[in-house]
Amino acid sequence: MTQSKYKSDFLHVMEERGFINQCSDVEGLDKKLCEGVQSAYIGYDPTGPSLHIGHLYTVMMLHWFQQCGHKPITLMGGGTALIPDPTLKDKTRPLLSPADIETNVESLKQVFSKFLTYGEGPTDACMVNNYDWLAGLDYIEFLRDVGMHFTVNRMLTFESVKTRLDRELPMTFIEFNYMILQGYDFVQLHRRYGTVFQMGGSDQWGNIINGVELGRKMDRAELFALTAPLLTTASGAKMGKTEGGAVWLNADMLSPYKYYQYWRNVEDDMVGTLLRRFTLLPVAEIEKLEALQGQEINEAKKILAFEATRLCHGETAAQEAQATAQNVFEQGVAGTDLPSISIAESRLAAGVFVIDLFVETELAGSKGDVRRLIKGGGAKVNDGTVTDEKQTVSTEDLTPDGYIKLSAGKKKHALAWVESP
RNA sequence: GGAGGAGUGGCAGAGCGGUCAAUUGCACCUGACUGUAAAUCAGGCGACUUCGGUCUACGGUGGUUCAAAUCCAUCCUCCUCCA
């Protein structure tokens, strides 16, 4: 294990797990964290009902923060979600209704609870909503107190603003204000909870540092910022997408099996980074796994997939997912955890077009999609390649266990079970 | 308020009266090779289809034409310059 240059447990962990990208004042922060229990927050926009793995590494930061004896705060941007964030996407994102946001906040708390312990204790996590202080703001007062401290000159230099302007894309005033409100959040967190520390992804650096500066200007507060490197694949693309879309952390939006498969299929070069960031395995153990070469890396990927799934969906779900993956890929048989549909026995007896089953199991998006799959030789029924578009299956195709296995390509499989009368 | 310019498939970006379901790149899917990896090569990439076709699409709505993404009118949105 490498000798840490940090005194505080937390920074030590962040360092060895690769979470440190930029920090406003490492020494100061290190010292602060050694003084006693601190609270730190990360902001999340409740713009969707779940988190995906793009959010996950920040949640892990909070997780470790709590493990190191501090208090994590999840800040819900209930107020800022009413305002579009000007980042990345060139288009202004649609405004959400307050009711949607409230539903999302509730749903998100469930997800966070898998990684953080909420409660009333000194190091228990808590969830706050910036709607509480943003909703009632008086415009004039706000401009005088907060707007005073921002120069447009500086705001224009921020990456999110610059790219928009450079590309001659519109940015509305409401979006332009986003960063001010985010900075103001830090001030409020400090005033209300004594929070001196904010973390986030490196894309949030500008916003976070705004808060640090605003706190100093308004309250002479000493605030700290830490960002983690954004997750990109070894080939440079942003991580977190699968064929179906985002890799959600909710089981009802993405099954544990698929979640497991996502991790199982990551690029070789990512395994070490991901193990450090998304599992709780001791670093020493991770270092051993990182040393694996060639085909052996698959072993590391299995561990990554298992550990990541266990953390998010629990031991049982992880074992089931792993067992299914093993059955499917190593034994060549079906596993119970595969996506399934049920089909009435009477319907099956009459014969069902294979094409329809592929659509119903969502292995393909449309009938035309299945036809293409068949033409390309990627469609299989019970591991036999489908060659005829009009091929049907009936009760005779059922395996002894009472299902039909469908495959789209080598990795995507689904089962159609007969519905017992 | 005035003058120009632009709105095309997930994104970028061609087309500017028929041969356009729309060039191309990225992304994505499948096949081959492999290690459920990467790279590479090949094919595919609106929906439905009795595979002959049918339908829906180029900001919205009307119109001209045998025929429109392409022309005209109008509305909406955005950009640039001027006041």
Among the listed residues A162, A192, A238, A375, the single catalytic one is A238
CB atoms within 10 A of CB A3: 5
pLDDT score for A116: 96
The closest of A354, A236, A259 to A307, measured between CA atoms, is A259
Residue A144 has pLDDT above 70, yes or no: yes
CA distance A291 to A314: 28
Location of structure tokens 């694996």: A292
Over the stretch A250-288, which tens digit does the pLDDT of each residue have?
Answer: 888 889 999 999 999 998 988 999 999 999 999 999 999
Band the pLDDT of A245: cuts 50, 70, 90: low
Residues sharing a CB contact under 8 Å with residue A22, sequence separation 6 or more, in sequence order: A202, A205, A225, A226, A227
Q: Cite residues whose beta carbon is less than 7 Å from strand B.
A: A 90, 168-170, 234-235, 237, 241-243, 261, 264-268, 294-295, 297-298, 301-302, 325-326, 328-330, 359, 365-369, 371-373, 376-378, 389, 408-412
CA–C1' distance A303–B52 (Å)?
Answer: 54
Residue A296 has pLDDT above 50, yes or no: yes
- Cα-Cα-Cα-Cα torsion A364, A264, A312, A326, nearest 10 degrees, comes to 80
Higher-confidence position of A78 and A58: A58
Over the stretch A380-417, which tens digit does the pLDDT of each residue have?
Answer: 999 999 999 899 999 999 998 889 999 999 999 999 99
pLDDT score for A32: 96
Pairing status of strand A126-129 against strand A71-76: parallel
pLDDT score for A88: 37
Over the stretch A80-136, which tens digit does the pLDDT of each residue have?
Answer: 776 655 443 334 444 566 777 888 898 899 999 999 999 999 999 999 999 999 988
- Report the interhelical angle of A297-313 vs A271-278 (nearest 10°): 20
Residue A180 has pLDDT above 60, yes or no: yes
Higher-confidence position of A29 and A332: A29
CA–C1' distance A341–B31 (Å)?
Answer: 27
The CA distances from residue A363 to A366, A399, A415, in Å, are 9, 20, 10
Q: What angle do CA A249, A269, A204 make, to 5 degrees?
A: 55
- Could you confirm whether A413 is annotated as catalytic? no
pLDDT score for A220: 94
Q: What angle do CA A34, A214, A174 make, to 5 degrees?
A: 130
- Could you confirm whether A326 is annotated as catalytic? no
pLDDT above 90 covers a percentage of chain A that reads: 62
The b-or-e profile of A28-40 (16+ CB within 10 A means b, else e) is ebbebbeeeebbb
Band the pLDDT of A183: cuts 50, 70, 90: very high
- Could you confirm whether A238 is annotated as catalytic? yes
Over the stretch A209-229, which tens digit does the pLDDT of each residue have?
Answer: 999 999 999 999 999 999 998
Contacts of A135-141 with C-beta under 8 Å, sequence gap 24+, read A135/A79
Nucleotides of B under 7 A from a protein CB: 11-12, 27-32, 34-39, 43-49, 51, 78-80
Band the pLDDT of A233: cuts 50, 70, 90: low
- Mean pLDDT, range A326-341, rounded to an integer: 86
- Could you confirm whether A182 is annotated as catalytic? yes
From A13-27, A171-185, A193-207, the region with the lowest mean pLDDT = A171-185
CA distance A243 to A265: 12
Q: Please, what is the end-to-end C-alpha distance for chain A in angstroms?
A: 60
Average pLDDT score, chain A: 88
CA–C1' distance A270–B34 (Å)?
Answer: 19
The closest of A149, A226, A140 to A187, measured between CA atoms, is A149
Bridge partner list, A71? A39
CA distance A304 to A404: 30
Among the listed residues A100, A203, A268, A369, the single catalytic one is A203
- Could you confirm whether A55 is annotated as catalytic? yes
pLDDT above 70 covers a percentage of chain A that reads: 90
